Amino acid sequence: MKKNKHLLPILGESVLQKAEIIYKQNGYFTDTILQELHSVYSTSLEQALDILDKTKVIQYYARDSKRTLYLIGKGDKQLRLFEDINFCFCETFRKDVLESGDKIMCEHVLGVKLAKITKGFVKEEMSDLYFVESLKIMSETLC
Ligand SMILES: [Zn+2]
């Protein structure tokens, strides 16, 4: 069956909301919800779970502006993501999300969403100045 590209993001969001409720009730993701997540996110789900298993997600929280940034992955595969914005600097995002539209989000954006549901992240405060510096580094990598 061909996936409907317009409905998929809506479906994806509702499956994530359901996953959050199930995680709160059980303390883990049940097989059923993992299957539902997989039917929408396919390989991104496995990769996201793998990243969460092997590395930690860091949430940077700017004290004054209350803005947040997430850091996911490790080494040269470490990526910074904005809170609740479906955007990533990785190859998968560029090819499979932006160009072909085969995926709703990459494994990093999904990983952060899952980490938020499971509270599987480390919280670190930063000054607003440092936060702005981090944004500058991010925008420079775009050029
Ligand atoms: Zn990514």
pLDDT in tens, 103-113: 999 999 999 99
State the total domains in the chain. 1
Does 2 reside within a domain? no
Residue 1 banded pLDDT, cuts 50, 70, 90: very low
Does 1 reside within a domain? no
Region 6-16 average pLDDT: 89
Residue 81: CA atoms inside 13 Å, Cβ hemisphere, count? 29
Does 13 reside within a domain? yes
| C-alpha 64 – ligand 1 centre gap (Å) | 28
- Does pTM top 0.85 for this prediction? yes
Compare 140 and 123 and report the one with higher pLDDT. Answer: 123
Does 3 reside within a domain? no
Residue 3 banded pLDDT, cuts 50, 70, 90: low
Does 20 reside within a domain? yes
Backbone angles phi, psi at 118, to 5 degrees: -90, 0
Domain that holds residue 132: 8-142
Does 124 reside within a domain? yes
User: Pairing between strand 79-82 and 68-72?
Assistant: antiparallel
Cβ contact 52:115 at 8 Å? yes
| C-alpha 74 – ligand 1 centre gap (Å) | 13
| C-alpha 81 – ligand 1 centre gap (Å) | 9
Q: In what order do the strands lie in the sheet with 68-72?
A: 79-82, 68-72, 57-62, 121-126
Does 21 reside within a domain? yes
